Chains A and B, each alone.
Chain A
Amino acid sequence: MNFKGWNRHLLWLVAAAPFVSQTWLQAAPTPIVAAREEIPTFEKDVLPILKGHCTACHNPDTSSAFLDLTTYETTMEGGQADNNVVAGDPEASNLMRRILGHGGKPQMPLGFAPLSPEKTETIRAWIKAGAKPTPEGVDLRHWAYVPPQKPSVPEGAHPIDYFVGKKLAEQGHSFSPEASRTTLIRRLSLDLTGLPPTPEEVDAFLADTRPDAYERVVDRLLASPQYGERLARMWLDLARYADSNGYEKDLGRQNWAWRDYVIKSFNADKPFDQFTTEQIAGDLLDAPTREQLIATGFHRNTMLNEEGGTDPQEQRWQVLVDRAAVTGTVWMASSTGCAQCHDHKFDPISQKDFYETLAFWESADEPLLALTPEEVSPYVERIKKREEFLLSSPESDARKAALEKIKKERESLEKATTLVLQESKERKPETPIREGGVYLAPGEVVPAGVPENLAPWQPEMPLNRLGLAQWLTHRDNPLTARVTVNRIWELIFGLGIVKTPGDFGTQSEAPSHPELLDYLAVDFRDQGWSLKKLIRTIVTSRTYRQSSAVTDAMRAWDPDNRYLGRAPRYRMEAEMIRDNALFVSGLLDLSMGGPSVFPPQPEGIWDNPYSGDQWITDPTKDKNRRGLYTFWKRTAPYPSFLTFDATSREACTDVRVRTNTPLQALVLMNDPVYLEAAAALSARMDGEKPEDRIQEGFRLVLARTPSKEELEVLKNYQALQAKVFAAAQREDAEEASWRMLASLLLNLDEAITRE
């Protein structure tokens, strides 16, 4: 058995494979493979925990309590207490007692949260098994730095269900039943396009008795143009895409052609390795196409400070650091930024490595690329419509201001540019190391390079950005495929197989399903880096198709749903909430691409010291475009998106946190966007009897029919509200009550939740 090639997860699997076949499907009460007692090793398992929690104080320099926990020898030696580690007896070991807070002394680490049960258990198991030094021959590499190999899957089994099911069975659990068809089609539509299904689509699916009806829906959604927009949101967050420069002046910029490139690439299912290469080094490809040049706008999304006193050298420095760090986060899930100032504390990235990766960006010039008339003409047409609309409306000051702004917009569009990179003729890809990360302290000059302990640099790779892209997407690179697969998993399941999509380092939590991650990563790469194939694999699994209903017992044994014994249920993301409301009310304009738009927002959001830019709401249906086309001003982003956890795009965002707050309730109740949507929705709710109208509203918003009880609640409410309005002498009491009811529907927890 080859110990070097892979970590013990694979060993476990290889050993187990002949015996498992498909028996997990029978939900055996005991795990098929007797839980092999893994003995943790010091270097691989224990030391990372000590480094993460203890060695800030217990190291050879400070050695609090004369204890140094940075090596095996000194850990065994102990400090003040000579019983630091008593081999075979965790309870008698001072290390264990202090971690647990036993023995009357304060619990360690002092002043910080205690170690998690898993980490505590690892240390205990290591001591119990004799507290031995790490045996020879064990591959000490962290799992993420070992190239993935494809574990075998029994014939006929869905790989995802095989790995997830096996884990569940080990725990004595099984999958939840399949979700209802209405839930499934709404879930699929939201996950793959960011939009809900229409009632007609729901009906068609319910009536489709063909065995592959579900797969047909999947394929239809993957082929829809809205698919690319859905995935783009994630990529724009990573790329810190915005329509303004950031900082004090925060003036507008044009880089929407790059945004559209992203959408088009996802829709065309451009292989992810090519997508990577074009964005990092499109200009260095042989005879690059326009699209490949535009692609390099990825790293032009860095901020630009135009304050009068800004030092251009410092500015440039910050841009370079950002490009190196964001490349690390996006493709390698590595927090290389730490190494700006010093060698990475935990991960195998030296300060020199960081400057070597930064050096790739030193030789990139930053020109503007003029867009061609063909590239802008469709959008010019759209702007002209806005102008025409305004010209036909009555004269007013507001109209005048809007016309002026639109004229400016049209003029700037007619000579539109986009931000690109171009390899410099003068500067070389090399950079001085800056001691302590201070840009004014240049030291030894290093040429561009990569952390070769992750994957070797191949001789055929040119020493420039193109080589960097080739290295990132090379078969031997252990990270890119895994990281990408995990991001897609996170997008669909709400939580990655590795919880931290931007950090696969030694301090990150181990993957919940390591074999699955590796299977998908290798498969993704071998299937030509196709995101659509990957997503198809995911959503056709039984794991994906489960119900998300949760019982007390399920929550008790797996509160975070790490084992996936049920489908996840989570609130939609900011843009999706608005898109959804506009879609179900029939207002959403699905036009794609072009300059960003200005939907209604409250006055005063844009007050800025040094920019006269004004937010003037688009008069035509352009105001009802999908959320990702909303003008993104970094110092003052669209307020309701911010309330629903979108970020300012000032920095790379790898995960949007999901919160649940009163301010969100206020947005859905009172933001004019949602009031307008409610009014339009109520007008769409046809029917003779109140029941019919409610049924129709329910179908539009939730893609299902209401229960008897839900119907009762809503009927009573509408009648009561109509009465209240009538008592207040409102002439439109009846219709107003329906608008309130429609607003209520848009405020339902279920309406903003993917379940």
Chain B
Amino acid sequence: MNQNELDEIILKDITRRHFFRMTSYGIGTLALGSLLNPAALAAPPVATNPFAARAPHFAPKAKRVIFLFMAGAPSQLDLFDPKPKLNQHDREPIPEEIIEGERFAFIKGTPKLLGSPYEFKQHGQSGHWISSLMPHTARVADDLAFIHSVQTDQFNHAPAQIFFNTGHQLPGRPSIGSWLLYGLGTESQDLPGFVVLVSGQNNPDGGKACWSSGFLPSHYQGVEFRSKGDPVLYVTDPDGVDRTSRRHMLDALREMNALKLSDHGDPEIATRIASYEMAYRMQASVPELTDLSDESPETHAMYGTEPGAVSFANNCLLARRMAERGCRFIQLYHWGWDSHGTNPGDDIMTSLPERCRQVDQACAALIADLKQRGMLDDTLVIWGGEFGRTPMNEERDGSTFLGRDHHPRAFTIWMAGGGVKAGLSLGQTDDLGYNVVEDPVHVHDINATILHLMGMNHERLTYNHLGREFRLTDVHGQVIEKLIG
């Protein structure tokens, strides 16, 4: 049953009860008569449900997206894009002509190249190169499509994260999830359609702008599932109010609101009634969703999860549960990839391996789990950060810890499922990993492709704001045809 039908049933139920009650009070029934038969109205009393599933522009490959956003920007050169030449010239100054006129976030003067201290091997039939930091990901290599030639316009975290998510570096525009919810609605009747899960030490740098609905109505904004306190803000009833009491209260509230509706006729009141009923359902469905104790020990072993723990792994398992329950866009943020090398907490020798340990197993488990449940085909999974990292050692203020500065010119992401060509390796960087030399892919292209795989034409999914038709990809973006299976 979709939400519209449900709303209608609720409304009929209410009005029917009141019809009988009110006639006994001798109140006129003219307005009620038409409420009982919504078809008789020129304008329906139930406002359109903004979350109702809507038809895409064309047949979609994917029905939902799980976006694993690695906030802080992981080092492609230590994970997925090996450069023997870079290792060969380790700690040699980079040739001046490469960096002439370049601006860096922190690097000053002429920096030295930095080879990767990690061993790379090829994996699976696809022969994807993956470093020793990601052993679990290596096992699902054949399910992944790597893009080694991603480019962005921004080289600071907050603007770049906001840019990746909204197509614009300044806050204020709708994010991908909001656009998809606006375009497609959602298949979940009692959970939000666009969900955000945050792990790592902190929120992403771009803050809530990363999942903002911008100028779209705010019901399209991402709903944050929190790992501490209420999973969804205010979903838990206060102490002493159990389900029975809540139901009694809502029944009375519904009657009161229905009286108002029959007296006044404003369809927003019917929507309000439906909103409370959905809230009540969420109060049951959210704890059910977030309670991982009914997952098998095998599943927990696969993900490395523990019920009640606060971790990226738990969020991956939650993401699968949300996907099963019909959420449209599920976005995970894991913070802490900003490997500058100013101390052991942000270098590539101590901090980067730790970050990999936090995500590697769970990401691979998510892919394998979706696959074994037959869901990978129509679930698009994306893994990546807001930009890449430089082939040069940052050496900020003479730091002896190894680290890399922000690099928007070339970085790697992977995608899987949802119509993406498994095992594909797309795009190439030069011998030092500095520039893209083959198949450049811009962030706008990735966004255009995500919409495309979901059955939406990125040039047609528009919204008029301040007199202009806006879209996720601004005036850019090309679908990456080579990526699509």
Q: Do A and B come from one complex?
A: yes
B467 lies within 8 A of A744 (CB): no
Q: At the interface, yes or no: B373 with Cβ under 8 Å from chain A?
A: no
B218 lies within 8 A of A710 (CB): no
| Nearest CB in chain A to that of B338: its residue | A609
- In whole angstroms, how far apart are the Cα atoms of A112 and B21 in the complex? 47
B156 / chain A contacts, CB cutoff of 8 Å: 248, 305, 307, 309-310
- In whole angstroms, how far apart are the Cα atoms of A639 and B230 in the complex? 13
Stretch from B82-90, B276-284, B364-372, B426-434 at the A interface: B276-284
A33 / chain B contacts, CB cutoff of 8 Å: none
B218 lies within 8 A of A714 (CB): no
A660 lies within 8 A of B106 (CB): no
| Nearest CB in chain B to that of A549: its residue | B264
Given A608-B203, A648-B209, A713-B256, A556:B42 Cβ within 8 A = yes
| Nearest CB in chain B to that of A654: its residue | B466
Within 8 A of B (CB), among A681-727: 707-710, 713-714, 716-717, 720-721, 724-725
- In whole angstroms, how far apart are the Cα atoms of A648 and B43 in the complex? 34
| Nearest CB in chain A to that of B230: its residue | A602
Q: How far is the CB of B391 from chain A (nearest CB, A)?
A: 17
Q: At the interface, yes or no: B295 with Cβ under 8 Å from chain A?
A: no
- In whole angstroms, how far apart are the Cα atoms of A537 and B476 in the complex? 48
- In whole angstroms, how far apart are the Cα atoms of A713 and B265 in the complex? 20
When the two chains form the complex, which single residue of A309, A748, A753 contacts B104, counting CB atoms closer than 8 Å? A309
Q: How far is the CB of A164 from chain B (nearest CB, A)?
A: 20
| Nearest CB in chain B to that of A346: its residue | B467
Q: How far is the CB of A440 from chain B (nearest CB, A)?
A: 9
Q: How far is the CB of A178 from chain B (nearest CB, A)?
A: 16
- In whole angstroms, how far apart are the Cα atoms of A329 and B405 in the complex? 38
Q: How far is the CB of B195 from chain A (nearest CB, A)?
A: 12
B202 lies within 8 A of A607 (CB): yes
Contact with B along A411-440 (1 / 0, CB 8 A): 000000000000000000000000000000
The count of chain B contact residues (Cβ–Cβ below 8 Å) is 94
| Nearest CB in chain B to that of A338: its residue | B468
Stretch from B116-124, B266-274, B298-306, B375-383 at the A interface: B266-274
| Nearest CB in chain A to that of B190: its residue | A662
Q: At the interface, yes or no: A651 with Cβ under 8 Å from chain B?
A: yes
B104 lies within 8 A of A666 (CB): no
Within 8 A of B (CB), among A515-573: 548-552, 555-556, 559, 569-571
B229 lies within 8 A of A602 (CB): yes
Given A607-B203, A635-B207, A662-B279, A505:B218 Cβ within 8 A = no
Q: At the interface, yes or no: A503 with Cβ under 8 Å from chain B?
A: yes
- In whole angstroms, how far apart are the Cα atoms of A287 and B114 in the complex? 60
A660 lies within 8 A of B233 (CB): no
Q: At the interface, yes or no: B109 with Cβ under 8 Å from chain A?
A: no
- In whole angstroms, how far apart are the Cα atoms of A550 and B34 in the complex? 13
| Nearest CB in chain A to that of B281: its residue | A662
When the two chains form the complex, which single residue of B34, B234, B248, B464 contacts A670, counting CB atoms closer than 8 Å? B234
A645 lies within 8 A of B245 (CB): no
A744 / chain B contacts, CB cutoff of 8 Å: 249, 252-253, 256
Contact with A along B393-418 (1 / 0, CB 8 A): 00000000000011000000000000
When the two chains form the complex, which single residue of A308, A610, A637, A748 contacts B105, counting CB atoms closer than 8 Å? A308
Contact with B along A103-130 (1 / 0, CB 8 A): 0000000011000000000000000000
Given A603-B228, A724-B244, A609:B47 Cβ within 8 A = no
Contact with A along B233-260 (1 / 0, CB 8 A): 1111110111011101101110111011
B234 lies within 8 A of A309 (CB): no
Contact with B along A638-658 (1 / 0, CB 8 A): 011011010010110010010
Contact with B along A230-269 (1 / 0, CB 8 A): 0000000000000000111010000000000000000000
When the two chains form the complex, which single residue of A635, A659, A750 contacts B260, counting CB atoms closer than 8 Å? A750
Q: How far is the CB of B461 from chain A (nearest CB, A)?
A: 10
Contact with B along A489-520 (1 / 0, CB 8 A): 00000000000101101011000000000000
Q: At the interface, yes or no: B357 with Cβ under 8 Å from chain A?
A: no
Q: At the interface, yes or no: B164 with Cβ under 8 Å from chain A?
A: no
Q: At the interface, yes or no: B460 with Cβ under 8 Å from chain A?
A: yes
A559 lies within 8 A of B43 (CB): yes
Given A651-B171, A709-B25, A749-B260, A639:B233 Cβ within 8 A = yes
B218 lies within 8 A of A552 (CB): no
Given A248-B158, A740-B241, A648:B468 Cβ within 8 A = no
Q: At the interface, yes or no: A664 with Cβ under 8 Å from chain B?
A: yes
B25 lies within 8 A of A708 (CB): yes
A663 lies within 8 A of B223 (CB): yes
- In whole angstroms, how far apart are the Cα atoms of A550 and B260 in the complex? 12
Q: At the interface, yes or no: B275 with Cβ under 8 Å from chain A?
A: yes
Given A663-B233, A665-B276, A671-B234, A635:B209 Cβ within 8 A = yes
- In whole angstroms, how far apart are the Cα atoms of A708 and B273 in the complex? 21
Contact with A along B303-343 (1 / 0, CB 8 A): 00000000000000000000000000000000100000000
Q: At the interface, yes or no: A634 with Cβ under 8 Å from chain B?
A: yes
Main secondary structure, interface of A, reads loop
- In whole angstroms, how far apart are the Cα atoms of A307 and B201 in the complex? 18
Q: At the interface, yes or no: B60 with Cβ under 8 Å from chain A?
A: no
B230 lies within 8 A of A307 (CB): no
Given A713-B259, A744-B252, A555:B42 Cβ within 8 A = yes
The count of chain A contact residues (Cβ–Cβ below 8 Å) is 96
Q: At the interface, yes or no: B99 with Cβ under 8 Å from chain A?
A: no
Q: How far is the CB of B166 from chain A (nearest CB, A)?
A: 11
Q: How far is the CB of A423 from chain B (nearest CB, A)?
A: 27
When the two chains form the complex, which single residue of B42, B242, B264, B268 contacts A660, counting CB atoms closer than 8 Å? B268
Q: How far is the CB of A486 from chain B (nearest CB, A)?
A: 14
- In whole angstroms, how far apart are the Cα atoms of A724 and B246 in the complex? 11
Q: At the interface, yes or no: A318 with Cβ under 8 Å from chain B?
A: yes
A659 lies within 8 A of B466 (CB): no
When the two chains form the complex, which single residue of A639, A661, A717, A730 contacts B240, counting CB atoms closer than 8 Å? A730
Contact with A along B152-177 (1 / 0, CB 8 A): 00011111000000000011100000
A608 / chain B contacts, CB cutoff of 8 Å: 202-203, 207
A749 lies within 8 A of B218 (CB): no
A740 / chain B contacts, CB cutoff of 8 Å: 241, 245, 249
A559 / chain B contacts, CB cutoff of 8 Å: 43
- In whole angstroms, how far apart are the Cα atoms of A666 and B238 in the complex? 11
| Nearest CB in chain A to that of B191: its residue | A662
- In whole angstroms, how far apart are the Cα atoms of A669 and B237 in the complex? 8
| Nearest CB in chain A to that of B44: its residue | A555
Q: Which of A303, A338, A714, A749 gathers the greatest number of chain B CB atoms within 10 Å?
A: A749
A709 / chain B contacts, CB cutoff of 8 Å: 21-22, 25, 259
When the two chains form the complex, which single residue of A502, A507, A748 contacts B253, counting CB atoms closer than 8 Å? A748
Q: How far is the CB of B84 from chain A (nearest CB, A)?
A: 29
- Beyond contacts A634-B207, A657-B216, A708-B25: 14 other A-B pairs, Cβ-Cβ < 8 A, are A247-B158, A248-B157, A307-B157, A322-B170, A507-B468, A550-B264, A555-B43, A654-B466, A660-B271, A661-B219, A666-B232, A736-B240, A744-B256, A748-B256
**Subset of 17 A-B contacts with CB under 8 Å:** A111-B460, A246-B171, A308-B105, A309-B105, A309-B406, A500-B466, A556-B41, A607-B202, A608-B202, A637-B208, A645-B218, A662-B278, A663-B223, A671-B233, A675-B238, A740-B245, A748-B260
**4 shortest interchain CB distances as A-B pairs:** A309-B105, A635-B207, A556-B42, A651-B172
Q: Give the B-binding residues of A (Cβ under 8 A).
A: 111-112, 246-248, 250, 303, 305, 307-311, 318, 322, 329, 335, 337-338, 346-347, 500, 502-503, 505, 507-508, 548-552, 555-556, 559, 569-571, 602-604, 607-610, 634-637, 639-640, 642-643, 645, 648, 650-651, 654, 657, 659-667, 669-671, 675, 707-710, 713-714, 716-717, 720-721, 724-725, 728, 730, 736, 740, 743-744, 747-750, 753, 755
Q: Give the A-binding residues of B (Cβ under 8 A).
A: 21-22, 25, 31, 34, 41-43, 47, 50, 57, 103-106, 155-159, 170-172, 192, 201-203, 205-209, 212, 215-219, 221, 223, 226, 228-230, 232-238, 240-242, 244-246, 248-249, 251-253, 255-257, 259-260, 263-269, 271-273, 275-276, 278-279, 282-283, 335, 405-406, 457, 459-460, 462, 464, 466-468
